[in-house]
Each structure stands twice: as C-alpha cells, then as structure tokens.
Structure 1
Amino acid sequence: MKRRLVLSALLFVALTACATTNEMPLAKNAVRLDTNASGLLFTSAAGAITMKKAAEATLSRGYTHFRLDQAQTASGSQFVGMNTHTSGYGTANVVGNSVYGNYSGSSFSTPMYAPTRQIGVTVIMFHANEAGAKGAFDAAEVLAKKGKV
C-alpha cells in the first residue's frame, strides 16, 4: 500500500513538471533569458534548456557566437497537491446529499512538493569575425550537442 502511495505521488509530481523560458531583448546583440523549471525531469535539464535557447536566439538574430553574463540561479520547491489515503470499514447509505450508517476509519494526507529551479542570464552575441567571439560559445555547436533537449 505504501509503495502505491509513493508511486502515485511520483507520478503526480512528474505530470506537474514543466519548463518555460522568457526572452527579453536588451540590445541589438543582447537578450535576457529567464528559465523557470519545475518537477524532477525539468529541474535537472534547466541549464541545458537555457543553453539551447541562448544558441537559438543567437542564430535567429544573425550571430554565430555568444557569451553568458550576469547569471543568476535559484532552486527550491513548490506545493503541488495532497495525497490522501483513507481506510475504514462499516456500512453507509447514501440518501441525496447525505450519508447515513455505521462507519469507522481513518485517513491521512501527505503534502507533495515539486522541485523548482530558476536560471536568469544575459546572452551577449557576436559575429564570427568579432573579437568577442574568440573563446565564446559557438551557437551551432551548442545546438548540435543540446538540440535533443
């Protein structure tokens, strides 16, 4: 019974998982990316998701390389629901909206939390021939490696 309770809790947490990235242009060659992830599956991939979005933003603006600046990260958890288990015995008669009878039992509830992760970063983009591109991430290479995220 306890195993079933744990499995249902894990399934619920996995189903309430998601990741979103907001992009805000700052300059012609700079954007701010804010990734918010929740759930076991997406919190571990938040960094890869952010890198992929940075590479996509770079290429879509006609640049080839990027650097990350002003990075901020945070992690925590959020309440996602309650898992309630009830056990009992007896008889009950339902009449309309009321229940009558002899019933004895107990129930307990367990709060469920999903892990969260937030990543905020400024992406500064460069053309291949610019000085800032030296040592920077190559957007095409990043997408080739992380494109399956």
Structure 2
Amino acid sequence: MGTSERGGALDRVVGKAKEAIGKAVGDEDLAAKGLLQQEEGAARDAAVSERARAEAARKAGEQVYDEEMSEAAQERAEATRAEQERKAEIREHAREREEAIARDAARREQTVEQRAQAREAAVEHLHEAALRRAEEIEEEAAEHARQARRAEASASELDDLQEDAERGR
C-alpha cells in the first residue's frame, strides 16, 4: 500500500512506533523519520479535511444557486433582468469562494510539502554527519592499531636488547 493510499491516522501510528523504537535503540535517524511520518499523517488528515470543507462549500454554493433559481422562476414575469443579474452574481460568488478555498488548500499542501522536504533534508544531513563520524572513528581506530603495533615492535626490540645485555654480563 503506497503512502497516498494510507490514512493519516495510520501514518501517525506507524510514525509514533518508529519514533519510540528509534529512541529506544538510540537510532536518531529512525526516530526523526518517525516524527516526520507523524507530521505527514497529520498533514494528510488536514488536507483531507480541507478538501471536505471545499466540497461542502461547493455544495452549499450549489444549494444557494438552486434556491435563487427557484425564486427567480417565480419572479421571472416581473423582473427577468433582475433574475439574470442575481444568477450571475451567485455563480461568480460561488466560483470565487471555490477558487479561494482551492488556493488556500493548495497553499497549505505546499507548506506541508515544504516542511516535509525540509525535515527530510535535515534527516539526510544528520545521517551524513553520522556516516562521517563513523569514518573518523574507523580512521582513529586504525591509527590506534598502528600505534599499538609500533609499541609492540618497540617493546620486542627492548626485550631483545635487554636479553642481549643480560647475556653480555
């Protein structure tokens, strides 16, 4: 099941589990991904809610339009021109409201996406820093091993010199 097919609640639960497991085992990357997934779930729920509100607003606009059409039919004989103006205003208002809601929902979705991208970049940065630190530690361990081998060689030479000195007494 792809991310777009899952509900926001599932993303929040799975994200919470990842965060808890990551914290429990000391995996900051997993914990950060869990937080990100929780936020994505919340954002997905918010987007679904925004779409539902937009749909309700559209239906409300259609209902208003239908009511106005009914009234206009009763008054058509007296005010044909007034009826046409009212219909045009209602359509324009409904269209403007739908456009405003769609723009707002798009802005919110864009903000959520930008936040998700920023968090993903932060997680990637942390991951890269951890990899660099691991490489540094490996290099330090290799240097310590070289120093230990040199120290063993020096100790062996000293032992040999001491043995030679004791034999020469």
Question: How does the TM-score come out when normalised to structure 1?
Answer: 0.28
Higher relative contact order (CA 8 A, sep 6+): 1
| More strand per residue | 1
Find the structure with the greater CA-based Rg. 2
| More helix per residue | 2
